[in-house]
Structure 1
Amino acid sequence: MNEQSIKIKNLDLSFGNKDLFKVDELSAYTNDRIAIVGDNGKGKSTLLKVIAGEHPEYEACIERHTDFNYLPQIGELDQSVDNTLDFELLSRMNVPDNEQLSGGEETKFRLVKILSDYRLGLLLDEPTTHIDTEGIKLLIKELEYYYGTLIFVSHDRHFINSLATKIWEIDDGSIREYHGSYDDYESQKQIEQLEQERQYEQYMNEKKRLEAAEEKQLRKAEKMNHVDKRSRDDIRPSRLEGTKSKETVQKQVYKKAKHIEKRISQMEEVKQPKTERELIFPISKLVELHNNFPVMAQDFTLKRGDKVLLDSVSFQFPLSKKIAVTGGNGTGKSSLLQEIIEQNRAFTISPKVRIEVYEQMSYKMNSNDSIVRYLMRHTDFTEPLVRSMLVKLGFSNDEVMKPVNVLSGGEATRVSLALLFVKRSNVIILDEPTNFIDLKTIQALEAFIGAYQGTVIFTSHDKYFVERTADEIYEIINQTLIKH
């Protein structure tokens, strides 16, 4: 049996004035590979910090039987090297020997430093951020051979599915443990959803039956109350009721109705499962395109300084398709998207193209408007459709009435995604949109892309995201753009 590496007991975690979740008891063991999932702002990263000992005030709640290495989501880059650094892994991760590292290269360097100092416990917070597909493959392979307890936060479903043997889900102020991979977790959640739907239907049917029975008794009592004396004399009571006065019979009827009412009040309420309407985003007639290829290039060369990123490439991005541009760090994906946004003269771009670009918008949201009013000012869509989008993004009916100038960073990010899709456009460009958003928001983004009737061009290292959204995949390899 695997030895216990950590036990969490009686943890009541909060951040500032915000209560996050409570844990009665939760344990991890040697060779557990645990992925922590949940919405942004629910405490995933804070939990890792508590386990790592970064929050001394919670030490009494933690029993550690293993030493842990900890990779925070954002940390100082220390490029100093010594004999303990695994130079062979550094080479395989394709980290250049220079001071100017890209975001993905910085993450790789920090990972190599952590993995070079082996301990029986390893905590990783969003370890795939900015890392290209090949880097993620190498990291997965490295961690597959890791012996010890691995606990990590990630929004990359392929990464989770490749490594996790358990899922800790933070939701509704508590942590639930699921056994298996991410696919297993999703299957269990679907079963839970179906079971909740069955229980809710059963609850509503029984409640309606009792309410009908109560109404029947009340109608009977009221009828008895309003009949005249002669009509009362015509009522033939049963043998049991024969000795009772008509007033006593009426009281018994009211008593039955009260008894049924009490049964209804004592029923254990089953919450209605969340249901979401299918999204269809209409394209405005004002931006309707008829060009089969709104974005094209012939023998296009892309340089940054003296470095050639793309050498005489040609492509045609078709109307209404979802186009993924993939490739390693530094190959030119973001630069290509930027050239399209700026409508470089080397491209053939339909004159009716109207491009919208995903941006972090929180710093621009200074309005007192509610979320739903703010979005309605930027769209031709109906309010029910806009509200459906917000529900899919995890906003409740009450939350959509919050002023946009008081939103948290995570909430503002979700609103900025909604804003992108409600605006009048026919081409949307997304550069690594899944960075720093939670799984629920990623799934909502996938639904938005599927419902959008225009062309979407995006880059992403998230394998699941690409598989679920892209109609066509282009990869930048050796200064060429190859269609798969």
Structure 2
Amino acid sequence: MLSINNLSYFIGGRALYENASLHIKPKDKIGLVGLNGTGKSTLLKLINGDYQPSSGEIQKAKDCTIGFLNQDLLSYQSEDSILDVALEAFQETLRLQEEIDKVLKQMETDYSDQIIDKLAKLQDQFEANEGYTIKAKAEEVLEGIGFQTADLQRPLKTFSGGWRMRVMLAKLLLEKPSLLMLDEPTNHLDLPSIQWVENYLKTYEGAVVVVSHDQEFLDNCIEKTVEVSHGNLTLYAGNYTFYKEEKKERMEIQQNAYENQQQMIKQTERFIERFRAKATKSNQVQSRVKALERLDRVNEVIDDNIAVNFKFKFSQQSGRDVVTLENVSKAYGDLVILRNSSARIERGDKIALIGANGKGKSTLLRIVDGTEKIEGKREEGYNVIKSFYAQHQLEALNVNNEILQEMNQAGSAKTEQELRNVLGCFLFTNEDVFKKIKVLSGGEKSRVALAKTLISEANFLLLDEPTNHLDMQSVNILIQALEQYEGTFITVSHDRHFIRGVANKIWYIEDQEIKEYLGTYEEYLNWSAKQEAEKAQYASIAKEVILKEVTPKRKEVDQNEANLLKKELKKKQKDLEKLEYEMMDIEEQKGSLEEKMADPDVFSDSQELDKLNRQYQKVIDKEAELTEIWEALVEEIENIEIEIG
């Protein structure tokens, strides 16, 4: 379907890709992985035609259509409702609808065979394109990725960038291109929406290429992994977990080959050095020199997995109780977030606050922080030192500072070498520490802000979506850092890999209350699945009990009442029979009128056609009225039959 052959792409003098090749087949589900800066997003833009290769070629089949979700779409604005923007995916069908509307308008004065034929063809095309279901499809996708029904008629411009990105994702999914390319699609999705997209992509009919830092998302929706590294594209025939295991094996084989080759090179060089001056060995020496020159060198393995060894120093430990909430209520107008809810955070708690967007997670985080007005009581414990990380912290960075300067201003009293060690854990090494904040990418700024949060010597961290804009390596670094953290923290996150790695308690908001599960995320998922199964089982049992209770009562109906019911039933059945004859008559009238209206002679007589149209409309209205009466009568008869038993 799409073939990348000997692709090279240079930025200045640096080769981002050099003679890289990849073949994408129909229905391939590919995850594109690699460190930040290796060129994953650039490759998608090359495939999309936004960039041109320095050399090599990208060939695609004639019928290959491409849909590309990228972060540039955040700036897209429109006065149209989000439903109308999503419906733009069906441009051909919408065009047909416009044509049909024009023809119907024309038929008010023109009833020629040509117009009738044109309308019939357009309607056939519209039906073949499933035009009558496009609105329902658009609503299903928009609601699947988190929009409420009431939101669908709101203009796109009234939503934040993240929500606008969701609309563009919905539009792409509805377009169903033969190659769907998604660059960090989970950045702006909550957990239920991520799971919905996963399920959608699993059954997607076309090919999919995804760039994502969400490891579980990749595991759940891809079947192949392509690693971008050192200018090459390396294919692994499995999901992300398979890739990690397979890469580890390949690295071991490569490292062994490298070490064996290095040993052979040293032996050869010693031979050359030893016998270089001996004329009797000159041929052998020259032969081995040439062999070394021709040797295809095996590269030493560079392990991308950094082991973090943070040493957190607290000037003081907090008391046992960190924050206590009692009978807390919070509402924004009619939107109630919490009602008389209580919770407690104790020293050593590592809490993940999970759930869908709009439930109030960030609001609850601010309540815990003490920066949100509430009804009820919030009490902070003894010696609690807080540090709050959120996306707005990135804007709080001094853009004119160098990274090392910014870290030095965190007030941790660490030495320059200690700060360099911390920055090294967050992938800022050597001269990187002297980069200005203003030249950093979003992901790099996130790493600086997180590093500042972690060295602040706070004994209580509040982290709002800390993994947003981080690549996989950075997420793993953060997990390792928080695993070693001896204080208390609460984090809002939709990254399941991250939550699994750090949480020992789960919080969620349900029925306007803070609910708590004392255990890991994996244990919570198992417990939640059992709860759902028990609810379903209870509902089934309750239904059986109700039926059993109702059945004896039916038998208790006395004979007089039974006789009255039977008479009523007989009357209703006669009414139904009479009504059905009337409906048959209406059906005949309708058929007769349709035949007359189809007569070519009638088209030449506009007055007669207008008269028939009025009669036909009356028949249609009568048919609808009788159908409604018939449905109500059938329901009444069924209820009486149940009562009689």
- Residues of 1 paired with 2:48 and 2:482: CA distance? 38
RMSD: 3.7
Deviates more, 1:360-369 or 1:423-432: 360-369
Deviates more, 1:42-51 or 1:265-274: 265-274
Q: Is the 8 A contact 1:324 1:459 kept in 2?
A: yes
State the 1:373 CA deviation.
Answer: 5.7
- 2:454 corresponds to which residue? 421
Give 1:112 deviation, angstroms. 2.4
Point out the more displaced range, 317-326 or 110-119: 110-119
SS in 1 for 2:6: strand
Answering whether residue 370 of structure 2 is matched by residue 342 of structure 1, we say yes
Corresponding position of 2:493: 460
State the partner residue of 1:375.
Answer: 407
Pairing partner for 2:216 from 128, 150, 158: 158
Structure 2: which 5+ runs fail to align? 88-130, 518-645
| Cα displacement string for residues 78-105 of structure 1 (whole angstroms, at most 9, x for unaligned residues) | 5252464413333444422332546664
The answer to whether structure 1 residue 478 and structure 2 residue 511 are counterparts is yes
1:61 aligns with 2:57: yes
Q: Structure 1's 183 and 384: CA in aligned 2 closer, same or farther, altered over 3 A?
A: farther
Corresponding residue of 1:356:
387
Q: 1:115 to 1:343 in 2, by over 3 A?
A: closer
Q: Where in structure 1 are there 5+ consecutive unaligned residues?
A: 218-248
Q: What is the Cα deviation at residue 57 of structure 1?
A: 6.9
Structure 1: how far apart are the matches of 2:145 and 2:399?
42
Matched, 1:314 2:311: no
TM normalised by structure 2 equals 0.61
Per-residue Cα deviation, 1:260-289 (whole angstroms, up to 9, x for no partner): x989x97957536447554132222x2322
Give the whole-Å Cα distance in 2 for the aligned partners of 1:343 and 1:329: 20
In 1, Cα distance between equivalents of 2:177 and 2:299: 46
3-state DSSP class of the match of 2:182? strand
**1:282 maps to which residue?**
312
Distance across 2 between alignment mates of 1:203 and 1:134: 51
Structure number with greater Rg is 2
> Within 1, Cα distance between the matches of 2:259 and 2:418?
26
Of residues 7, 12, 24, the one that matches 2:8 is 12
Identify which range, 449-458 or 405-414, moves more after superposition. 405-414
CA distance in structure 1 between the partners assigned to 2:335 and 2:204 by the alignment:
38
Identity %: 29
Give the aligned partner of residue 144 of structure 1.
202
Q: Cα offset for 1:374? A: 4.6
**Distance 1:272-1:21 versus aligned 2 partners, 3 A rule:** closer
- Relative distance call for 1:307 and 1:181 in structure 2 (3 A) is same
Other-structure match for 1:432:
465
Cα distance in 2 between the residues matched to 1:383 and 1:373: 10
2:585 maps to which residue? Answer: none
Counterpart for residue 131 of structure 1:
189
Matched, 1:31 2:60: no
Provide the residue aligned with 1:241 in structure 2. Answer: none
Contact 1:34 1:168 in 2 (8 A): yes
Deviation string 1:375-402 (CA, Å, 9 cap, x unpaired) is 3553344655544433333334343454
Q: Which residue of 2 aligns with 1:190?
A: 248
Matching residue within 12, 22, 37 for 1:41:
37
Aligned pairs for 1:63-102 within 5 A = 63-65=59-61, 66-75=64-73, 76-78=76-78, 79=82, 81=84, 82=87, 84-85=134-135, 86=137, 87-96=139-148, 97-98=150-151, 99=154, 100-101=158-159
After superposition, give the CA deviation of every residue in 1:281-312 in whole Å (9 maximum; x if it has no partner): 2222x2322x1221221111122233111222
Amino acid in structure 1 at the alignment position of 2:142: L
Counterpart-to-counterpart distance in 2, 1:88 and 1:362: 36
Per the TM alignment, residue 32 of structure 1 is displaced from its structure 2 partner at its CA by 0.6
What letter matches 2:480 in structure 1? A
Letter in 2 for 1:287: Q
Normalised by the length of structure 1, the TM-score is 0.79
Count of residue pairs the alignment pairs up: 443
Higher strand share: 1
Q: Which has the higher contact order (CA 8 A, sep 6+)?
A: 1
Secondary structure of residue in 1 paired with 2:236:
strand
Q: More helix per residue: 1 or 2?
A: 2
Q: Is the 1:36–1:170 contact (alpha carbons within 8 Å) kept by the matching residues of 2?
A: yes
